[in-house]
């Protein structure tokens, strides 16, 4: 099942070249050549800080971007990925295979006090803090799980079904965030064999399962709920193969393309005040982090290094 999860993550979380078809999205462009020209950031963050995944060191590391620059928090030869800042900005939850399989870890925002929360060979990914910081949602072999922030009281919200036959929202669950009131989760489910992905919401008891975005057919993935609860940002791989950041109301109405750019735009995440969206984009020689206003204007690059920067998590 972990092999399938890795395939889903690659296909729906950062791959393909510009203009490629959705069914061919199975990886991401390699790091830019060290001799290639490297741009400089066009702007600094308007507020807060962003935790993100980077391949600039040759392996997956968790970095933190602040007004003072960027710092490597993990410094480990393992693959450290899927960072998520706690609501108060003091901790980072992430996934790592440093103990063999992927498990969920938590550390302070300066990289100290590392704690392993899960111990399961199935593969734990995509940790997301609840708005009150007391719980963490994550994906275990595609099943949607929730636990206390110390790793206790583990609960399964929804069990994954075989991805080639599963109904909408049941082909594995990769959480994208919580509703502001903490009563629901948004997540995506993807079927590689059928070339589809849906953005969905569900109550914490597994009821009220709702498809938010699934049309036109293709990959609708990587949702992020706005702080005011009015919008869900996500990535859609369009029929022509382009990757765009969209926003949609939780009831599925008013879907809007915010990026509208021929580059690959992926992994949106809202600023704490809801006025900005961070995302990763392949607009130069590599994936870098960008920010834009909530209406898609004011796009600016905030990282510019050789090596993929992606999976932004914006906190206070």
Please state, in angstroms and rounded to a whole number, the distance separating the CA atoms of residues 70 and 228.
28
pLDDT value at residue 33: 30
Does residue 122 fall inside a structural domain?
A: no
Does residue 201 fall inside a structural domain?
A: yes
Does residue 119 fall inside a structural domain?
A: no
Does residue 140 fall inside a structural domain?
A: no
Q: Three-state SS across 77-106? A: CCCEEEEEECCCCCEEEEEEEEECEEEEEE
Domain ranges, residue 246: 2-74+154-315
Place of tokens 């949609």: 248
- pLDDT confidence bin for 20, thresholds 50/70/90: very low
Residue 274 burial by CB count (10 A; 0-12/13-18/19+): exposed, middle or buried?
middle
pLDDT value at residue 26: 27
pLDDT value at residue 45: 92
Residues 42-93 have pLDDT tens digits of: 888 999 999 999 999 999 999 999 989 999 999 999 999 999 999 999 999 9
Does residue 166 fall inside a structural domain?
A: yes
Please state, in angstroms and rounded to a whole number, the distance separating the CA atoms of residues 280 and 311.
7
What does pTM read for this prediction?
0.89
Q: How much is the mean pLDDT over the chain?
A: 89
pLDDT value at residue 141: 95
Does residue 288 fall inside a structural domain?
A: yes
Mean pLDDT value across residues 147-165: 97
Residues 116-145 have pLDDT tens digits of: 999 998 899 999 999 999 999 999 999 999
Does residue 83 fall inside a structural domain?
A: no
Task: Using the predicted structure, report yes or no on whether residue 16 has a pLDDT greater than 70.
Answer: no
| 234-242 own/partner pairs: CB under 8 Å, 24+ apart | 234/176, 234/188, 234/199, 234/268, 235/12, 235/265, 235/266, 235/267, 235/268, 237/16, 237/22, 237/25, 239/22, 240/19, 241/16, 241/19, 241/20, 241/21, 241/22, 241/24, 242/18, 242/19
Please state, in angstroms and rounded to a whole number, the distance separating the CA atoms of residues 154 and 145.
7
pLDDT value at residue 39: 62
The CA distances from residue 46 to 65, 227, 310, in Å, are 12, 17, 19
Mean pLDDT value across residues 16-36: 30
CATH number of 277's domain:
2.120.10
- pLDDT confidence bin for 8, thresholds 50/70/90: very low
Does residue 99 fall inside a structural domain?
A: no
pLDDT value at residue 18: 27
Domain count, the chain: 1
Spatial contact of 243 and 257, defined as CB atoms under 8 Å apart: no
């Amino acid at each position: 099942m972990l092999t399938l999860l890795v395939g889903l993550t690659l296909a729906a979380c950062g791959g393909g070249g510009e203009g490629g078809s959705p069914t061919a999205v199975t990886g991401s462009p390699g790091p830019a050549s060290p001799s290639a020209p490297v741009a400089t950031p066009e702007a600094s963050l308007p507020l807060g800080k962003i935790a993100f995944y980077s391949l600039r060191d040759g392996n997956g590391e968790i970095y933190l971007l602040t007004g003072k620059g960027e710092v490597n928090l993990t410094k480990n030869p393992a693959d450290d990925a899927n960072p998520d800042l706690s609501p108060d900005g003091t901790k980072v939850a992430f996934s790592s295979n440093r103990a063999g399989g992927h498990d969920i870890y938590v550390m302070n925002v300066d990289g100290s006090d590392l704690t392993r929360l899960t111990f399961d060979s199935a593969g734990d990914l995509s940790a997301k803090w609840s708005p009150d910081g007391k719980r963490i949602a994550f994906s275990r072999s595609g099943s949607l799980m929730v636990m206390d922030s110390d790793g206790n009281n583990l609960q399964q919200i929804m069990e994954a079904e075989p991805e080639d036959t599963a109904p909408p929202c049941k082909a594995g669950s990769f959480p994208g965030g919580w509703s502001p009131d903490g009563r629901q989760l948004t997540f995506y489910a993807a079927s590689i064999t059928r070339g589809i992905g849906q953005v969905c919401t569900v109550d914490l008891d597994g009821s009220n399962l709702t498809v938010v975005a699934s049309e036109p057919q293709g990959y609708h993935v990587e949702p992020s709920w706005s702080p005011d609860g009015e919008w869900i940002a996500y990535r859609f791989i369009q029929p022509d193969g382009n990757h765009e950041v969209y926003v949609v109301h939780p009831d599925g109405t008013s879907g809007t393309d915010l990026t509208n750019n021929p580059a690959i735009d992926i992994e949106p995440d809202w600023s704490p005040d809801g006025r900005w969206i961070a995302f990763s984009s392949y607009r130069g020689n590599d994936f870098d982090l960008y920010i834009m206003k909530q209406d898609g204007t004011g796009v600016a690059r905030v990282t510019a290094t050789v090596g993929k920067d992606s999976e932004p998590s914006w906190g206070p």
